[in-house]
Structure 1
Amino acid sequence: MALKFPHLFEPITLGKTVFRNRIFASPTGFQNGDHLNLPSKELIAYYELKALGGAAAVTMGDCLVDSKNGRVTKVQFPLDDTNQKGPLSSLCKAITRHGAVASLELQHGGMYARTTGEQLGYVWGPSATMLPFRPGGSPQVKSDGKMIEVREMSEEMIEYTISRFGDAALFAKERGFGMVMIHGGHGWLVSQFMSSKTNKRKDRWGGSLENRMRFPLAIIEDIRKKCGRDFPIEFRMSGSECNPAGYDLDEGIRIAQMLDGKVDLIHVSAGNHEIFDVFFITHPSMFHEDGCNVKYAAEIKKHVKTPVATVGALSDPAMMEEIIASGLAVVVELGRQTLADPDLPIKARTGREDEINQCLRCYSCFSECDATCHFLCAINPVIGNEYEAKFDLSPKYKKKVLVAGGGISGMQAALTCAERGHEVILCEKTAELGGILLCEEQVPFKKKL
């Protein structure tokens, strides 16, 4: 049977690694870790579900290269703790045994390393300054008026940090990971060096774009030296920071041109995680159109030869197919959509795209992670319970179950009971099922409901 989305399911080779299709599961943070910030059995099951769903690559996000100086939140995996090899190897195997390539996102918070700031009383950045301090690790937490000192990184500290990225990549490779992603966007340390708005240095690490790019290019070279030229490197950048406090698309193009030929995949996002007004561009809300950030990747792709990936507000396989077929990008990356339905790749490949639960972009996952450090999805009850679902036993007895209320929760409860083999009676006092959906369906920006 001919594939409905042939471009989406055409394999791609990065370095010497073959990826089975063009759908990558992008980083969604490091939650559900254990008390030592190591991958728990729940976290491993969470990432395994994405691989089972058919993604070509699955990336674990927010992995620290320097846990003393770069920690943003209390729940990040410390790649500089080389004694903790077992859990990371287990996570890698859970991904690769289902045919996906396992990847890690290498991250350093720099001047926004809030947890480091709480511990040390100061943070490190490309240039000395003072910043409003927001405790708790969330960019959405308002400052209480306190300021925190940003200390300028010395030459020695810059060189040390570069080596931390290379060592972290090697540590991942030795655990079986087939790729790493350098987080060079969204306002973290690498992008702080890249942007003239945050890099005010007068030495060889600042000033011209060539000097500001010296830091990320040195990181890339250190990884190449330690992991080999064939080990794939993905570089995540913001095509534009979409705010006067950041760089624009023209500069984003120049940044990508300097990365061209140095990495295997340029992953183009947008915005800055730390600028409140554009947080909702980096992580598009339901008020944005589907694929609203594709334009940044498409423009950058015109100016580079390196493969380009796009990310943000993607949940429709037909749109993803068109993006790749028309040459706007060569890879589509899914974040929150992999929570709403990790089986999207399999469903799209087997002609079941009508069964895909499309992400509402409602931010329930964000609010739950901020509140409890655990994953949750408003429309997928398996998320947060992946480990238990692996060992879901069939009921010993078939029961007759009465579900009162035909709203969203009632309908899902009825479906779950039926899937478990029970006889279900669903009662609704009105003439129609749907509950609040009957009202919300008339609101244009809530069409995915």
Structure 2
Amino acid sequence: KYFPWVAAMDNTDMLPRLSMVAHAISRHGSVASAELSHDGEFSRASRDEHGTLYGVVERDNKYGRVEQMSEEIIDYIIDRYYSAAVFAKQCGFGMVTIHGGHGWLPQQFMSETFNTRKDRWGGSFENRMRFPLAIVDAVRRAVGPNFPIEFRMSGSEIDPGGYDIDYGVRIAEALDGKVDIIHVSAGVHEIDRTFFVVHPSMFLEDGCNSKYAREIKKHVRSYVATVGAFTEPGQMEEIIASGGADIIALGRQSLADPDFPMKARAGREEEIARCLRCNGCFENAGKHRIFRCALNPEIGQELEAMRTPPAVIKKKVLVAGGGAAGMEAAIQASRRGHSVTLCESSGKLGGVLLCEEKVPFKKHLSEYLARQEKLCRELGVRILLNTPASPELARAESPDVIIAAVGSKPIIPRNDGIDLALCAQNVYEDPSCVQDRVVIIGGGLVGIELAIWLGMSGKKVSIVEMAQNLAVNINDMAHLAYRAALEDHGVRIYLSSEVRKITESSVTVCGPGGEFSLEADTVVYAVGREPLDDEANSLHGCAPEFYLAGDCMTPDNIMAATKVAFAAANNIGRM
């Protein structure tokens, strides 16, 4: 197992809970599938009583010393796949998926990179396929002839030295007819450079891995599934219609919008919440053992959300601020039956996120904001644009509840010559003000995304960051994608460094090796934001109930903003 807390298909104590999961899925007409996965040398939990880590060959990896699996251990693991499949069927699952991709144990045997054995489990292609085919045979014996088996594989390892799509086709051909579905993904989970292809980042196009499934489908008779960054029903329909795949699999998109299939079927595509690929869901699952979603605050608290009744007492609610937090609060309060007014100081809803509308790798962000505004209007939220929140407005509205979501403002550093620099938000709003050589002060999320965007347009960008690492507050999984994008676009990074002076043509930087100068036509600061405390606090005594949400509480990401706003709106009307 990759994590100790992942459900074990060889633990009979899990029978009641897994049976409930299978029933909860199948009672709605869907087929519940149990994924059978062994992580091999990358396992963090499945070791023997001595703590030994086993893999295809003896070597060292980032988790420790890996011992080569003996014949006895290989036979034992094949038998455990058999037992797990029997148990899955006993629990009520109607299908099993053998995870043979992403660098897990079956792929470790199939891959020439991992498998350098010289016995009957390695050497030739036929020998490297012996283990995965033995698993397939064991699972088939366990479930019988009329029970669907899916095999998930990487169409290409992508990493230099790893196998390519031609080798992936050979793997698929060896599986053809032995499994019902060949599920084609790509990459190796434990290789940093391919992790964000395994789980496509925002920097990759929608359906970026579908090309591997399309090629494999030309060579096999088994059904072929494709997966990876699908958000557009039209694209999915085109892939199936053109013979690129038989099945489209959704992962993170199903968290962002569990109603995606019904909305697509009904032609309500504009209502779909499209995954931002921030990978916050993965980060929360890894750290807290529970999924969360930036766009869907119900994820991780589904039962509470389902069981929250309409408000007992209907109240008049004033939401101050039309950013991510404000719109989420207005939507949820309106859904619960309250009368909601949303005031926004500017002429458009969206808050600080609006400035990133033109950024190509943020296209789903602008779609999200448009969807939230549409929901507000459809739910009857009264929207007041160009209307700053103030005590005078609150007195005129006389609300029972105020939710202050008035946002934050950029922190202006005190560097010598800072008056010559631009704020990151201003650059997003008017990129024409940026010349060729750019120095960005601050390597947080705003700074690195701006650097990538400017790098994409051909600017020569440098980041100067005081900390020892970039973007210390973003999740580790997104960090891999950001670092790769910075490298791809030639962004130079100076860590543990501080800008001392800004002139019209350069900046003076003090780093670990002393002072040095960077040529700069444009200097941009992105050193964080601070809450609009005064604006928020001015509303505190203007209604019997008062809540803070979003950046005016603590500047953070969309997930934090929507989570707090959702909770505040749900709390209204309980007393």
Q: Which residue of structure 2 lines up, in the alignment, with residue 131 of structure 1?
A: 61
Q: Which residue of structure 1 lines up, in the alignment, with residue 45 of structure 2?
A: 115
Of 116, 131, 135 in structure 2, the residue corresponding to residue 200 of structure 1 is 116
Q: TM-score, normalised by structure 1?
A: 0.80
Question: 1:251, 1:399 → 2: CA distance?
Answer: 63
- Name the SS for the 1:205 alignment partner: coil
Q: How does 1:93-172 map to 2 (within 5 A)?
A: 93-116=23-46, 120-133=50-63, 148-172=64-88
Question: 2:222, 2:24 → 1: CA distance?
Answer: 29
AA of the residue aligned to 2:283: S
Question: 2:89, 2:11 → 1: CA distance?
Answer: 15
Deviation at 1:196, TM superposition (A): 1.3
Query: Is 2:140 the partner of 1:239?
Result: no
Of 246, 258, 279 in structure 2, the residue corresponding to residue 342 of structure 1 is 258
Q: How does 1:270-349 map to 2 (within 5 A)?
A: 270-349=186-265
Q: Check conservation: 2:7, 2:14, Cα contact below 8 A.
A: no
Q: Which residue of structure 1 lines up, in the alignment, with residue 16 of structure 2?
A: 86
Q: Check conservation: 1:193, 1:213, Cα contact below 8 A.
A: yes
Of 427, 430, 433 in structure 1, the residue corresponding to residue 346 of structure 2 is 430
- Report which structure shows greater RCO (CA 8 Å, sep ≥6): 1
AA of the residue aligned to 1:79: M
Question: 1:160, 1:106 → 2: CA distance?
Answer: 15
Q: Which residue of structure 2 lines up, in the alignment, with residue 249 of structure 1?
A: 165
Deviation at 1:121, TM superposition (A): 4.0
Deviation at 1:234, TM superposition (A): 0.2
Deviation at 1:420, TM superposition (A): 0.8
Q: Percent identity?
A: 58
Q: Which runs of 4+ in 1 moved over 6 A?
A: none
Question: 1:250, 1:184 → 2: CA distance?
Answer: 17
- Name the SS for the 1:149 alignment partner: strand
Q: How many residues align?
A: 365
Question: 2:227, 2:74 → 1: CA distance?
Answer: 30
Deviation at 1:245, TM superposition (A): 4.2
Of 343, 351, 358 in structure 1, the residue corresponding to residue 274 of structure 2 is 358
Question: 2:46, 2:93 → 1: CA distance?
Answer: 27
For residues 6-42 of structure 1, the C-alpha deviation after alignment (integer angstroms, 9 at most, x for no partner) is: xxxxxxxxxxxxxxxxxxxxxxxxxxxxxxxxxxxxx
Query: Is 2:318 the partner of 1:402?
Result: yes
Question: 2:19, 2:187 → 1: CA distance?
Answer: 33
Q: How does 1:170-189 map to 2 (within 5 A)?
A: 170-189=86-105
- Name the SS for the 2:345 alignment partner: coil
Deviation at 1:222, TM superposition (A): 0.9
Query: Is 2:302 the partner of 1:386?
Result: yes
Q: Which residue of structure 1 lines up, in the alignment, with residue 374 of structure 2?
A: none
Question: 1:243, 1:431 → 2: CA distance?
Answer: 47
Deviation at 1:117, TM superposition (A): 5.8
Query: Is 2:136 the partner of 1:220?
Result: yes
AA of the residue aligned to 1:302: K
Question: 1:327, 1:161 → 2: CA distance?
Answer: 36
Deviation at 1:323, TM superposition (A): 0.5
Deviation at 1:253, TM superposition (A): 0.6
RMSD: 1.3
Deviation at 1:437, TM superposition (A): 2.5
Distance 1:403 1:161, change over 3 A: same
Deviation at 1:331, TM superposition (A): 0.1
AA of the residue aligned to 1:158: I
Q: Check conservation: 1:121, 1:149, Cα contact below 8 A.
A: no
Deviation at 1:114, TM superposition (A): 2.1
- Name the SS for the 1:83 alignment partner: helix
Q: Check conservation: 1:266, 1:306, Cα contact below 8 A.
A: yes
- Name the SS for the 2:45 alignment partner: helix
Query: Is 2:359 the partner of 1:443?
Result: yes
For residues 399-435 of structure 1, the C-alpha deviation after alignment (integer angstroms, 9 at most, x for no partner) is: 0011111101101110111111100011212222110
AA of the residue aligned to 1:374: I
Q: Check conservation: 2:309, 2:336, Cα contact below 8 A.
A: no
Question: 1:247, 1:230 → 2: CA distance?
Answer: 33
For residues 243-288 of structure 1, the C-alpha deviation after alignment (integer angstroms, 9 at most, x for no partner) is: 1242111110100000011000000000000111110111111111
For residues 307-327 of structure 1, the C-alpha deviation after alignment (integer angstroms, 9 at most, x for no partner) is: 100000101101100010000
Distance 1:73 1:357, change over 3 A: same
Question: 2:360, 2:114 → 1: CA distance?
Answer: 39
Q: Check conservation: 2:4, 2:44, Cα contact below 8 A.
A: no
AA of the residue aligned to 2:62: P
Larger Rg: 2
**Structure 2: stretches of 5+ with no match in the other structure:** 366-575
Distance 1:436 1:345, change over 3 A: same
